[in-house]
Amino acid sequence: MISNLRGIRAIYLFEMARFGRTFWTSLMLPVITTALYFVVFGSAIGGRMAEVGGVPYGAFIVPGLMMLTMFTESISNASFGIYMPKWTGTIYEMLSAPLSPLETVIAYVGAAATKSVIIGSIIFATAHLFVDVQVAHPLLMILFMILMAVTFCLFGFIIGVWAQSFEQLQVIPLLIVYPLTFLGGAFYSLDMLPAAWRTVTLFNPVVYLISGFRWTFFGQGDVAIEVSMGAVALFFTLCLAVIFWMFRTGYRLKN
């Protein structure tokens, strides 16, 4: 049950205020990064590969670029948000406050997901300065983007609880998530790979996430949209289950 809306609002606003203090840095970074990606991938590679599956290459990479940034932003914001109370010792005050585990997760994950969606929207707007991007299913695209942000913020929350140092906060995003995103078809179609590599790539869970998001743009993806939605739902459920276990056992929260 959600009964302490005031507590949720307090944590949410606190986390959003931290985002506001670095707003211009957070705003300019995705704009500059998006511009560089379009210069390198859109111009250099796009000049030699005009279309992918009938979609101009510049437009084709927009969903992958949005997902690449949103994955890392969601994980980083959520993990840092819950790790800081652990690092400062204020986590005990929060655990003793009249906030249920669900309310705590809603506050921290909600703030992190809001930041991630804002960044994703900025990248989408910036992309229009370079290419004409048409969205075949705009409502589904927005819903998929929000669901993706919430899911990876839950994953980031898990990392924040698990991490015992600032270095550990970066281990999984840099060594696992980032490489899997690049190898998950963010900037290419799986049809461009040899048959053997295509089979191996299908074991990469990020493939289904990026493919589903790309489907909302162009009505086509490397895998069926039903499979992509199922993969997101499965990952979302697993993250909720792990967080429930962490609060139930107090894993790295109470000691």
Burial 106-123 (b: 16+ CB within 10 A, else e): bbbbbbbbbbbbbbbebb
Q: What is the 3-state secondary structure (H, E, C) of the chain?
A: CCCCHHHHHHHHHHHHHHHHHCHHHHHHHHHHHHHHHHHHHHHHHCCCCCEECCEEHHHHHHHHHHHHHHHHHHHHHHHHHHHHHHHHCCHHHHHHCCCCHHHHHHHHHHHHHHHHHHHHHHHHHHHCCCCCCCCCCHHHHHHHHHHHHHHHHHHHHHHHHHCCCHHHHHHHHHHHHHHHHHCCCCCCCHHHCCHHHHHHHCCCHHHHHHHHHHHHHHCCCCCCHHHHHHHHHHHHHHHHHHHHHHHHHCCCCCC
Burial bucket for residue 86 (CB in 10 Å: 0-12, 13-18, 19+): middle
pLDDT of residue 255 exceeding 90? no
Tell me how far apart the alpha carbons of residues 54 and 65 are, in angstroms, rounded to a whole number. Answer: 19
Does residue 219 carry a pLDDT above 80? yes
CA atoms within 13 A on the CB side of 200: 7
Question: Which of 188, 171, 246 is CA-nearest to residue 57?
Answer: 188
Q: What CA–CA distances, in Å, run from 42 to 60, 75, 188? A: 9, 27, 12
Distance in angstroms (rounded) separating the CA atoms of residues 118 and 26: 10
Higher pLDDT, 3 or 157: 157
Judged against a pLDDT cut of 60, whether residue 46 lies above it is answered with: no
**pLDDT given for residue 155 in this prediction:** 96
Tokens of 200: 């191996």
Per-residue CA distances from 153 to 8, 79, 86, 161 (Å): 16, 8, 17, 12
Q: Residue 47 has what pLDDT?
A: 60
- Residue with the larger pLDDT of the pair 199 and 155: 155
Q: Residue for token digits 């969601």?
A: 74
Q: What tens digit of pLDDT does each residue of 93-124 get?
A: 888 888 899 999 999 999 999 999 998 998 89
The model's pTM = 0.91
For 136-158, what is each residue's pLDDT tens digit? 999 999 999 999 999 999 999 99
